[in-house]
Amino acid sequence: MTPRDGTLDRPARCGTCGGPARLVVNPFYGSGLSVHPELLSCTACRSVDFVPAPPRRPCTSGATRRRGLGRVARWLTRR
């Protein structure tokens, strides 16, 4: 099983004991504040951890920044 966004390209290790961890589906995903669809479950110590998020790339597009500034300017003029 691999995460939907492909973040686990190497075998996962437990952050607590360093043992092997497996990817499991979060049974509480979508209810309340649970926003992680997958979890890492350690096979040695049974601890559970979140799947690491992929690094975010900064927005480098000038058009996207200008569009965002335009939205903020329109929102401020409505107030």
pLDDT, one tens digit per residue, over 22-56 is: 988 888 888 887 888 888 999 999 999 888 766 67
The pTM assigned to this predicted structure is 0.52
More confident residue, 7 or 43: 43
Tell me, what amino acid is at 60? Answer: T
Cβ(17)–Cβ(47) below 8 Å: yes
More confident residue, 76 or 52: 76
Q: How much is the pLDDT for 1?
A: 42
Picking from 16, 71, 76, 18, the residue whose alpha carbon sits closest to that of residue 49 is 16
Instruction: Tell me the CA end-to-end span of the chain in Å, nearest whole number.
Output: 49
User: Which pLDDT band, with edges at 50, 70 and 90, does 62 fall under?
Assistant: low
Q: How much is the pLDDT for 8?
A: 55
CA 74 to chain centre: 31
